[in-house]
Amino acid sequence: MPKQIAVLGAGSWGTALAMVLADNGHNVRLWSHNSNQVASMNVSHQNEKYLPGIVLPGGITVYESMEDAVRDTAAVIFVVPAKAIREVTAKLAAHLPADAVIAHATKGIEPKTSKRVSEMIEEELQGVDHRPVVVLSGPSHAEEVAKRQPTTLSASSVDMEEAQKIQELFMNENFRVYTITDMVGVEFGGSLKNIIALGAGISDGLGYGDNAKAALITRGLAEIARLGTKLGANPLTFIGLSGMGDLIVTCTSVHSRNWRTGNMLGKGMTLEEALDQMGMAVEGVRTTEAVAELAQQAGVDMPITQGINQVLFHGAKAKDIVDQLMTRLPKHEMNDLQDVLNTR
Ligand SMILES: NC(=O)C1=CN([C@@H]2O[C@H](COP(=O)(O)OP(=O)(O)OC[C@H]3O[C@@H](n4cnc5c(N)ncnc54)[C@H](O)[C@@H]3O)[C@@H](O)[C@H]2O)C=CC1
Ligand SMILES: O=C(CO)COP(=O)(O)O
């Protein structure tokens, strides 16, 4: 049965997810904070800035008023960058529809607080509501979803019924959604892969080859799993769609904003220049800052993340960091992965 769904955030991912919901027959209210974008999208039925050349299906209306966008909806899905989550949740709080599922498809960890996105939403809704939040995450570039190319994701929540509602809303022949109970692992995997994708881009930008990239992906996954497991995730989640799956797509796809930013850094641009050129959310930058500090506090060894943090924020040369990583003390490959399993 067609439902009213609100999607908060009309960037590339919010727009692509709105298209999936509209393809499934739902009436989608896409909320944007930008009045020019609202006016132009409702006339052209395109999102020229973020998904040029894609014509939106019928059933998507763009709203500037949060109150109108979420009124009587069956689900509210956050797809704004992580840095805007608290502000947008506060805007939603006054108008929260009574029975709506609350979900997010944002990837990021907050610097200083180390909070995951679902934790930020829950914190901002404290005193207003205590509904369990669902996360939708996996290897999924907006550019391919908008072309209806086959894509698989995971929906996770502490309440499986809520995750199943999101699975049901989104599933179609191009867009397959699995459910999974480990929300901590899904949010950590989806957020931390962006750090490694920056590294993969840097490596490619420096002119290193596929061996180096495979090493970054594999050893990157080891350190993501080490931290995530210490903080309560199930190690198996990291070989799933939101872990290994998303790490592969983000480290190898030309669509990746994190890989592209890293690539520009590897070729010698400053962070400011690279972010300026991207002009879109590059979540790995803030997440690197957050995770480098979190890993230190938690006493977890994350040499790749710490090295990327040095390059982004402390003026280190990428080539020197690669040399340091390659000349660390000899180690047994599986010791730390065995530790991950032993902590369960
Ligand atoms: N683009 C993709 O293929 C995918 C993106 N994601 C995640 O989705 C989230 C959003 O990313 P994208 O859509 O790619 O970003 P984007 O850069 O394409 O668009 C961001 C949107 O958020 C809006 N925005 C920025 N600050 C805002 C604020 N304070 N209040 C309201 N709206 C605000 C911008 O106007 C823009 O419409 C990120 O966490 C990203 O990691 C997840 C999977 C795939
Ligand atoms: O999360 C994504 C793909 O699953 C998008 O990655 P980027 O933000 O690097 O484009």
Q: Which ligand is nearest to the CA of 142?
A: 1
Q: Write down the pLDDT at residue 339.
A: 72
**From atom 8 of ligand 2, which residue's Cα is the shortest distance away?**
257
Q: Is 63 annotated as a binding residue?
A: no
Nearest-angstrom CA–CA distance, 247 and 29: 31
Instruction: Retrieve residue 343's tokens.
Output: 């902590």
Q: Which atom of ligand 1 is nearest to the CA of 49?
A: 18
For residue 38, how far is the Cα from the chain centroid?
Answer: 24
Residue 77 DSSP label = E
Q: Are strands 151-156 and 133-137 parallel, antiparallel or unpaired?
A: antiparallel
In this prediction the ipTM stands at 0.99
Q: Is 53 annotated as a binding residue?
A: no
**From atom 21 of ligand 1, which residue's Cα is the shortest distance away?**
11
- Give yes or no for residue 343 having a pLDDT over 70: no
262 lines ligand 2 (CB under 6 A): no
Tens of pLDDT, residue by residue over 42-57, are: 999 999 999 999 999 9
Two domains, one topology: 4-181 and 185-342: no
Domain coordinates of the chain in residue numbers? 4-181, 185-342
For residue 178, how far is the Cα from the chain centroid?
Answer: 17
Alpha helices in the chain, H assignment, sequence order:
12-23, 35-44, 66-70, 85-93, 117-125, 142-145, 160-170, 183-206, 210-230, 246-252, 257-266, 271-278, 284-298, 303-313, 318-326, 335-342
Tens of pLDDT, residue by residue over 133-188, are: 999 999 999 999 999 999 999 999 999 999 999 999 999 999 999 999 999 999 99
256 lines ligand 2 (CB under 6 A): yes
Instruction: Retrieve residue 139's tokens.
Output: 């290897």
Give domain 185-342's CATH architecture: Orthogonal Bundle (1.10)
Active site residues: 193
Burial of 53 per CB tally in 10 Å (0-12, 13-18, 19+)? exposed
- Assigned CATH topology for domain 4-181: Rossmann fold (3.40.50)
CA of 208 to the centre of ligand 1 (A): 30
Residue 140 parent element (H or E): none
Segments of 175-288 assigned E as strands:
175-180
Taking the alpha carbons at both ends of the chain, their separation in whole angstroms is: 42
Tens of pLDDT, residue by residue over 72-116, are: 999 999 999 999 999 999 999 999 999 999 999 999 999 999 999
CA of 118 to the centre of ligand 2 (A): 18
